Amino acid sequence: METILTINNLHKKFRHVHAVNNVSFEIKKGNVYGILGPNGSGKSTTLGIILNVVNKTSGSYSWFNGDLETHDALKKVGAIIERPNFYPYMTAYENLKLVCGIKGAPLEKIDEKLELVGLLERKDSKFKTYSLGMKQRLAIASALLNDPEILILDEPTNGLDPQGIRQIRDIIRHIASLGTTILLASHLLDEVEKVCSHVVVLRKGVVLYTGTVNGMISNEGFFELEANDKQSLKTILQQHPAIDKIEENESKLIVYLKESLEAADLNKYLSSQGIYLSHLVKRQYSLEEQFIQLTSSAK
Ligand code: ADP
Ligand code: MG
């Protein structure tokens, strides 16, 4: 699979803030990547560096296997990292015409991209009459005018109402389905879960997880168990090869797995050892629980 961007051991220090701390990841063509992290975790700084608007402290990144100079590579990148800013008294069409001039994109692209973001009917309305969601969609259309290889969005749904959020997410998924690679930064877990195939989790500038969103969701899970004789239950569980660690929570045992194990198989094993459970629940972490765990456990 073609590589769009490679980031190696990137650092950014602002005086005493280590905003980006040894970040490495790779972006492959056709995927949708999320940089997920709480506010202040270094998402915008990372995007600023790869877009050449923030100077890195150390480390490296290379666009398109380093085949192009950054300046030329960035012509194949569409990015929205600030609030959309267009001329308020000009129409959407007129604003995009100016952008076509700057980017050297053909004017036929304007209607095509306005249609893609659902603004074709409003192309002759002045920008100042647009809602925030429409402004954001116009910014996406503008970023797509020259058919970039990758679209980069920083917190694309910030400040929007639920309907606006949904429209933007639908558009991002649609653009991805047409083959454009996407990198978006978000502090919203459900946004990344709904829109992205891959995720880089950042906390205080440090990468805590990188991989597929599914890989993050599908750990082996854990059991909640209860039996009259809690001590023997624990002793017998400790001998099972699939069991990782055991915690006590009031009358229950919380049993974490290192390999997959079905509830029925565990129950059978325990009864063969003379243990009869009064309570058995298998739970899987949601991505949200994992995100909270990931972002709170790393000190
Ligand atoms: P995020 O986008 O994840 O919210 P940022 O990349 O904006 O995070 O910020 C990461 C850290 O770097 C924060 O602690 C922020 O205060 C700091 N920071 C960002 N830009 C600057 C700057 N220009 N000068 C000083 N500190 C900055
Ligand atoms: Mg930010």
Domain at 248, CATH number: 3.30.70
Whether the pLDDT of residue 299 is over 70: the answer is: no
Provide the domain limits for residue 229.
222-283
The verdict on 129 and 239 lying in the same domain is: no
Ligand 2 center–CA 114 separation, angstroms: 27
Ligand 1 center–CA 202 separation, angstroms: 13
The verdict on 145 and 11 lying in the same domain is: yes
The verdict on 172 and 237 lying in the same domain is: no
Contact 48, 93 (CB under 8 A): no
Ligand 1 center–CA 154 separation, angstroms: 13
Contact 5, 150 (CB under 8 A): yes
The verdict on 99 and 33 lying in the same domain is: yes
The verdict on 124 and 29 lying in the same domain is: yes
Q: Is residue 19 included in any domain, yes or no?
A: yes
Pocket test for ligand 1, best of 17, 158, 183 (most atoms within 8 A of CB): 17
The verdict on 10 and 157 lying in the same domain is: yes
Q: Whats the size of the chain, residue-wise?
A: 299
The verdict on 117 and 199 lying in the same domain is: yes
Ligand 1 center–CA 3 separation, angstroms: 28
What 3-state class would DSSP assign to 234? helix
Q: Which helix (H) or strand (E) holds 36?
A: strand 32-36
Q: Is residue 37 included in any domain, yes or no?
A: yes
Q: How far apart are CA 203 and CA 206, in angstroms?
A: 5
Is 17 touching ligand 1 by the criterion CB < 6 Å? yes
The verdict on 68 and 82 lying in the same domain is: yes
Q: Is residue 162 included in any domain, yes or no?
A: yes
For 132-188, write each residue's pLDDT tens digit: 999 999 999 999 999 999 999 999 999 999 999 999 999 999 999 999 999 999 999
**Ligand in nearest proximity to the CA of 43:** 1
Helix axis angle, 132-144 relative to 162-177, nearest 10°? 10
For 80-123, write each residue's pLDDT tens digit: 998 888 999 999 999 999 999 999 999 999 999 999 999 999 99
How far lies 115's CA from each of 143, 154, 171, 275, 279, in Å? 14, 22, 11, 64, 55
The verdict on 26 and 9 lying in the same domain is: yes
Contact 37, 295 (CB under 8 A): yes
Whether the pLDDT of residue 203 is over 80: the answer is: yes
For 46-63, write each residue's pLDDT tens digit: 999 999 999 999 999 999
The verdict on 268 and 145 lying in the same domain is: no
The verdict on 97 and 243 lying in the same domain is: no
Ligand 2 center–CA 288 separation, angstroms: 20
Whether the pLDDT of residue 225 is over 60: the answer is: yes
Which amino acid is residue 222, in one-letter code?
A: F
**Of residues 171, 161, 164, 166, the one with CA closest to residue 116:** 171
Is 53 touching ligand 1 by the criterion CB < 6 Å? no
Q: Is residue 288 included in any domain, yes or no?
A: no
Which segment of 170-179, 214-223, 275-284 scores lowest on mean pLDDT? 214-223
Q: For the domain that residue 76 is a member of, what is the CATH number?
A: 3.40.50.300
Pocket test for ligand 1, best of 10, 11, 14, 202 (most atoms within 8 A of CB): 14
Q: Is residue 247 included in any domain, yes or no?
A: yes
For residues 29 and 257, the model is more confident at: 29
Q: How many domains does the chain have?
A: 2
211 is written with which tokens? Answer: 């991989």
Is 137 touching ligand 1 by the criterion CB < 6 Å? no
Residue percentage of the chain with pLDDT more than 90: 75
Q: How far apart are CA 185 and CA 200, in angstroms?
A: 9
Is 43 touching ligand 1 by the criterion CB < 6 Å? yes
Nearest CA to ligand 1 atom 27: 14
The verdict on 209 and 228 lying in the same domain is: no
Ligand 2 center–CA 68 separation, angstroms: 27
Q: Is residue 148 included in any domain, yes or no?
A: yes
Q: Is residue 228 included in any domain, yes or no?
A: yes
Q: Is residue 290 included in any domain, yes or no?
A: no
Is 55 touching ligand 1 by the criterion CB < 6 Å? no
User: What residues form DSSP beta bridges with 277?
Assistant: 227
Q: Which of 195, 217, 239 is the last residue of a domain?
A: 217
Phi and psi dihedrals of 252, rounded to 5? Answer: -100, 155
12 is written with which tokens? Answer: 């950014």
For 181-192, write each residue's pLDDT tens digit: 999 999 998 899
**According to the model, what pLDDT value does residue 298 have?**
43
Q: How far apart are CA 94 and CA 87, in angstroms?
A: 9
The residue assigned the tokens 């402290």 is 57
